[in-house]
Amino acid sequence: MLNKAEIESLVADILKGASQDQWLELLTTSGVPCSPVHTVPEALTHPQAEALGMIQTDPDRPEVRSVSLPINLNGERPGLRFGAPELGSSTVSDWDGKK
């Protein structure tokens, strides 16, 4: 694309003129579909992630959380069938016939 760097620079300069919230308000009231780009921590704690059941807790270790499957089956999100393996539970020594 011709002048790509120049265009990106001009757009970046314009975007710096307002906060994310101000741009979201302007775009939304103008009828432009938009959403902020979230950091991973923001996405994991977002109310929509909670509402969709996207974060599931390991049944055996509640301090371990996992991202669930992004699908619904018969209107329900599949739960965790089993938790994450314990550290060292699936090491190479498990396969040498000694256990």
Phi, psi (rounded to 5 degrees) for 5: -60, -40
Instruction: Round to whole Å and give the CA distance between 99 and 94.
Output: 6
pTM assigned to the model: 0.55
Report pLDDT digits (tens) over 27-70: 999 999 999 999 989 988 899 988 888 888 887 888 888 888 88
Report pLDDT digits (tens) over 14-28: 999 999 999 999 999
The closest of 35, 36, 85 to 60, measured between CA atoms, is 85
pLDDT reading at 11 higher than 90: yes
